[in-house]
Amino acid sequence: MIHPVLAAGAYVLNTALANEITPPGYLRGLVVAAVLAGALTITGWAAFRNRWDGALFATAFILLAVSPVSVGWVWVSLRGAFGPSLGTLVTGGILIAALGAIGVRLLQLRHRGLAVPRPPAEAMNVFSTALVAIVIASHGFGGIGQPAAISVPPPAGWSIGDRPTPDIVMLLLDGYPRSDVLERRLGANDSSFLDALRERGFDVATTNHSNYPATGFTLASMFQMRYLDEVPSLQPFVGTGQQANRALRDAAESGQAFSILRAAGYRATMVASGWEHVTLRNAADRLLDSGELNDVERSSVHRTWLLYLLDAVWPHVFTTELRDRIVHSFDFLDRVAMDASDAPRFVFVHVPAPHLPLVVKADGTPTDLTASRYETAKRTGYGMTDSEYADAWQSEIDYLDARVLRSIDLLLASESGREAVIIVMSDHGYGFEAVPGDTQAKLANLFAARTPNSPHLLAGGPTPVNWFRILFNEYLGTEFSLLPDRFFVQVGRQLDLTEVEDPDQITE
């Protein structure tokens, strides 16, 4: 009778391991899958008055739900014929009718005292156990036995001594484009926000760039304080399309930046973004997670035809969950701003916005975005006109800007916050709807910094690979040389990158 739980667990496990997610990122999904499998079993047991048939019903339902090929084909065909809404209803009706007919026939056979043909429970248990084993083995046993990246130690001969250590607060707004790109590509304006930052003592860069066009790349190079092709654990992946989420995450967590911060007495507080492939759990002394759905859990639903049923019964579940996570990310930062600490703090808040999808309006309420449109990467997929898309960007940007300023004001009102280094930045620019030749959109990122007692230290808008080199030299007494600026764009999957000479190239 364990085969429904194993079948459901195999599906969630496959989704997680395919993206090289660590167990904390998918444990809740496994528990929920087990509970749902148990509920289906009990439902089947009540209907067929036999626990073995109930378990068989549950496993059959699970396999049907996670095998979207035939049902998905029917849905796509009917959607083309009847439209999205009616097509979904007709598909659901056909599915319910088919399952109902099977159920009625089984009940008739049992009522007449006839044997119901079915595989024995032992065979189903063996099948489901084998399914779990195949999933684990096919993904390299979930990374078991693979060596983690070796932590890079602090520089030889360096010590912090009696040097004062200010708090360092880094607020990452994922995918927030530089102001000129924001206006050129998206029709949004953040000039009043940038002016407000300047009034609060921030240097705001206007010609800066990220070294890489994706979050995992930027975090790994930023915390390693060197380029990805210089990191030994990443070199086998560079130039290939091999899955490298785990290698990139390990590289970030083992970076020299964290070794220096620990040696200087810092404690790292991080706010989880809900994107598990870039959640740096092993580097955090304190990880704050508000508990909304993460990307593994959303993907587990999104890859099945059950997604379209959500549109009918709970259409805004993904939107509301991500909106809540964004709001709570700032709430966590506000709370950290008011907390007292005996040790210097490194605070890293990764806000999963304004990276698509756009889920929050200027007033903080969620947008009207259904589950089936959630994962689209093009404005046409959201069913918006160009004008509506621009308005949605402006609305979310307005909300983010207001929350950033509120959090900064709380920080500056606290004793430690007044002396804190505060960086407001993004990891990359606008990478959706890629336009060939528009390198600027991908790499031009938001960057503003407040550096007490060292005004204009980061005014030139250095690239992420040099941020910690400059900060550590100034505040912690290291003697790092700055790396020459290099810029990369993706030409394939994962670390299949090519270096570009001009990060501001626009040839569209």
Domain range summary for the chain, segments of one domain joined by +: 3-140, 168-500
pLDDT in tens, 65-79: 776 544 555 555 555
Helix 386-413 vs helix 179-186: crossing angle, to nearest 10: 160
**Is residue 347 within 8 Å of 336, Cβ to Cβ?**
yes
Residues 293-330: tens digit of each pLDDT: 999 999 888 878 778 778 888 889 999 999 999 999 99
User: Is the per-residue pLDDT at 282 higher than 90?
Assistant: yes
pLDDT category, 423, cuts 50, 70, 90?
very high
- What Cα–Cα distance (Å) separates residue 313 from each residue in 316, 368, 468? 9, 14, 48
Q: Does residue 449 sit in helix, strand or coil?
A: strand
Compute the distance between CA of residue 1 and CA of residue 123 in angstroms, rounded to an integer. 10
Mean pLDDT of 405-422: 90
Q: Residue 244: pLDDT above 90?
A: yes
Average pLDDT over residues 484-488: 97
Is the pLDDT score of 118 beyond 90?
A: no
pLDDT for res 335: 92
Distances (CA, A) of 140 to 19, 136, 323, 444: 12, 7, 35, 37
How much of the chain, in percent, has pLDDT values that exceed 70?
89
* 447-450 and 487-490 strand pairing: unpaired
Q: What is the DSSP letter of 343?
A: S
The mean of the pLDDT values for the chain is 89
Cα-based angle 422, 259, 332 (whole degrees, multiple of 5):
40
User: Residue 210 — left, alpha, or beta (φ > 0 → left; ψ -120 to 50 → alpha)?
Assistant: beta
* DSSP state letter for 459: T
> What digits encode the pLDDT tens for the residues 437-472?
899 999 999 999 999 999 999 998 999 999 999 999
Burial 357-366 (b: 16+ CB within 10 A, else e): bbbbbeeeeb
Parallel, antiparallel or unpaired: strands 286-288 and 267-271: parallel
Q: Write the single-letter amino acid at 334.
A: D
Non-local CB neighbours of 199 within 8 Å, separated by 6+ positions? none
| pLDDT given for residue 246 in this prediction | 94
Predicted local confidence at residue 392, as pLDDT: 94
Q: How far apart are CA 157 and CA 166, in angstroms?
A: 22
CATH number of 168-500: 3.40.720.10
339's CB contacts (< 8 A; 6+ apart) are none
Both tokens of 52, joined, read 């073995």
**pLDDT tens digits for range 347-387:** 999 999 999 999 999 999 999 988 888 877 677 778 888 89
Q: What are phi and psi of 288, to 5 degrees?
A: -100, 120
CA distance 189 to 83: 36
Residue 506 binned pLDDT confidence (cut-offs 50, 70, 90)? confident
Beta strands in 366-440 (DSSP E): 421-425
- Both tokens of residue 423? 């960086």
In this prediction, residue 84 has a pLDDT band, given cuts at 50, 70 and 90, of low
99 is written with which tokens? 């399952």
CA distance 342 to 411: 16
Q: How confident is the model over 24-41, as a mean pLDDT?
A: 94
Residue 203 or residue 100, greater confidence? 203
Of the CA atoms within 13 Å of residue 204, those in its CB half-sphere come to 17
Count of CB atoms situated within 10 Å of the CB of 322? 27
Quote the crossing angle between the two packed helices 306-313 and 295-302, to the nearest 10°.
100
Would strands 447-450 and 267-271 be described as parallel, antiparallel, or unpaired? unpaired
Q: pTM of this prediction?
A: 0.89
